[in-house]
Amino acid sequence: MSENKVVRIRARNMADDALFEFLHMEIVAHMYKEQVTREDIDKERVTCVSTLELMGFRVGQGLIERFTKDCPTFKDDLDVMKFLCKDFWSMIFKKQIDNLRTNHQGTYVLQDNKFALLTQFSSGKQYLEEAPKYLAFSCGLIRGALSNLGLESVVTAEVSLMPSCKFQVVIQKL
Amino acid sequence: MSRQSNRATDNKKMNSELFTLTYGALVTQLCKDYENDEEVNKQLDKMGYNIGVRLIEDFLARSSVGRCHDFRETADVIAKVAFKMYLGITPSVTNWSPAGDEFSLILESNPLVDFVELPDNHSNLVYSNLLCGVLRGALEMVQMAVDVRFSQDTLRGDNVTEIRMKFIKRIEENLPAGDE
């Protein structure tokens, strides 16, 4: 029975990109709509972002578990980050991170010049203030993936010109 | 290097896991936010509807499917083209009503539920209810009012997953004068 199931999952082609993108937009919209009825505006922003981030975190954890099930262990933190930028990113967004920088003290900056979840919005500064909502989930995704690879981190995102986006990862020393 | 080469293969398959897991995270969150399963079902349907009204454009643009002449043709397009394109599965179309206004889609496997087990206290939850909303929303945009619901679900112990679709009416087009 369980073997049968594995075969079935392998054979399945895919869920289309568009489906994920629409679902993501709808999740963001839903979270914000739900919160509008509550009063305190600043507080509400924070809850939305952290809810989305937490959802992403869970998904990241699940994904990394499946992606790394037959790959050897990593040498060090940098090796993990490289894996994240190349393999993990291409598996979920069909492209690699364009630029990875680090200060060698636990801070990494991942730059994606054409981030999939922003390309539909604009190429420039229009709707810039809306961008953070659409990045919270992805920040969580990264944090969740790292967490299951043994690295606790804080991940934030920054956009100065769409659809380019920078994720800053700060590894927390235990 | 060898590590990379064997990982880079079939990234398409992986993407479906992203969708499945994200959907799971959404349902989990809704179950936390709302008191009862009925309300969660309603929200999922509503969100699905919003997706459907947009997804239809993507679908029509990419599939070059024209207007359907009857409900049977609609059923075929949904099962063989749309489900195939977006979820990679082809449900079978069965149980036509004598009047031809009602049919069932039988899903052998449902990609939304790949890693899911329903806990006992959520017996009324229709986990994949988003799909109903998507179908309803998409069809509404091509002038068809349709009632969509799950009548069987493997998650709830049935042998197959069955989506029942009932044609209600054709929505009249209200085009502004002079507009074709």
pLDDT in tens, B10-35: 434 456 889 999 999 999 999 999 98
Out of B6, B12, B86, closest to residue A19 by CB? B86
pLDDT at B111: 84
Residue A41 belongs to domain with CATH number:
3.30.1380.20
Nearest CB partner across the interface for A23, out of B14, B22, B109:
B22
Contact B111, B15 (CB under 8 A): no
Whether the ω angle into residue B91 lies within 30 degrees of 0, i.e. cis, is no
Q: What local confidence, expressed as pLDDT, does residue A41 receive?
A: 60
- Whether residues A87 and B22 touch (CB distance < 8 A) is answered with no
Say if CB A124 and CB A141 are below 8 A apart: no
What tens digit of pLDDT does each residue of A112-137 get?
A: 999 999 988 888 888 888 898 899 99
Is residue B176 one of the residues assigned to a domain? no
| The total number of structural domains that make up chain B | 1
Q: Check A92 against B15: CB less than 8 A apart.
A: yes
The reported pTM is: 0.87
Q: Is residue B11 part of a domain?
A: no
pLDDT score of A10 more than 50: no
Q: How confident is the model at residue B75 (pLDDT cuts 50, 70, 90)?
A: very high
**B152 - beta bridge partners?**
B162
Q: Among residues of chain A, what percentage have pLDDT more than 70?
A: 84
Could you tell me if residue A44 is inside a domain? Answer: yes
> Which residue in B has a C-alpha nearest to residue A23's C-alpha?
B51
Rounded Cα–Cα distance for residues A157 and A166 (Å): 6
How much is the average pLDDT of B155-168?
93
ipTM: 0.86
- Do B109 and A12 lie within an 8 Å CB cutoff? yes
Classify residue B7: in a domain, yes or no.
Answer: no
Tell me if chain B has a CB within 8 Å of the CB of A56.
Answer: yes
Residue A30 with chain B: CB contacts under 8 Å: 43, 47
- Dist. CA B162–CA B150, nearest whole Å: 6
Q: What is the pLDDT of residue B8?
A: 39
Q: Which of B96, B97, B98, B57 has the alpha carbon at shortest distance from B79?
A: B96
For B86-144, the pLDDT digits (tens) are: 998 999 999 999 999 999 999 988 889 988 888 888 989 999 999 999 999 999 999 99
Task: Write the pLDDT tens digit of every residue in A45-75.
Answer: 678 889 999 999 999 999 999 888 877 788 8
**Helix, strand, or coil (residue A123):** coil
- Smallest CA–CA distance, residue A53 to chain B, in Å, is 11
Name the token pair of A164.
Answer: 């380019």
In a domain, B177, yes or no: no
Kindly state the helix (H) or strand (E) to which residue B104 belongs, with its residue range.
Answer: strand B102-107
CATH classification at residue B62: 3.30.1380.20
A71: in domain: yes
Asked, for residue A5, whether it belongs to a domain, the answer is: no
Neighbours of B18 (CB within 10 A): 23
Contact A19 B25 (CB under 8 A): no
Q: What is the mean pLDDT of residues A102-112?
A: 95
Helix (H, G, I), strand (E, B) or coil at B102: strand
Extract long-range pairs of B59-67: CB within 8 Å, 24+ residues apart: B59/B85, B59/B86, B59/B138, B67/B142
Q: Determine the distance in angstroms separating the CA of B56 from the nearest CA of chain A, rounded to an integer.
A: 11
List, as ranges, residues 71-110 from A with C-beta within 8 Å of B. 71-72, 86-87, 90-92, 94
Mutate to test the interface with B, among A2, A22, A82 (most CBs of B within 10 A): A22
Touching check for A69 and chain B: CB below 8 Å? no
**Domain residue limits at B25:** 16-116+125-170
Residue numbers of the domain that contains A60: 14-171
Residue B63 lies in a domain: yes
pLDDT of residue A120: 86
In a domain, B180, yes or no: no
Q: Is residue A66 part of a domain?
A: yes
Which residue in the set B6, B25, B111 is minimally distant from A15, CB to CB? B111
Which residues in chain A touch residue B23, judged by CB atoms under 8 angstroms apart?
23
Nearest CB among B3, B12, B47 relative to A14 is that of: B12
Query: How confident is the model at residue A40, as a pLDDT?
Result: 58
B88 closest CB neighbour out of A12, A20, A72:
A12
Task: Tell me if B18 and A59 make a contact (CB, 8 A cut-off).
Answer: yes
Query: Which residues make Cβ contacts (< 8 Å) with residue B83, sequence separation at least 6?
Result: B89, B90, B91, B105
Q: What is the DSSP letter of B169?
A: E
Say if residues B136 and B148 touch (Cβ distance below 8 Å): yes
Percentage above 70 pLDDT, chain B: 88
Total of domains in chain A = 1
A4 is a domain residue: no
Is 70 exceeded by the pLDDT of residue A3?
Answer: no
The residue ranking higher by pLDDT, A41 or B151, is: B151
Name the helix (H) or strand (E) containing A3: helix A2-11
Say if B151 falls within a structural domain.
yes
The vertex-B158 CA angle with B157 and B161, nearest 5°, equals 120
Confidence at residue A103, expressed as pLDDT on a 0 to 100 scale = 94
Distance from C-alpha of B91 to C-alpha of B161, rounded to nearest angstrom: 10
Domain membership flag for residue A8 = no
Interface test with B, best of A1, A2, A16, A20 (most B CBs within 10 A): A16
**Mean pLDDT computed over B43-51:** 97
CB contact under 8 A, B54 and A22: yes
B44 contacts B129 by C-beta, under 8 angstroms? yes
Residue at token pair 């690879």: A149
- The answer to whether the Cβ–Cβ distance between B86 and A15 falls below 8 Å is yes
Q: Identify the pLDDT of residue A171.
A: 95
pLDDT of B47 higher than 50: yes
Rounded to 5 degrees, φ, ψ at B83 are -60, -35
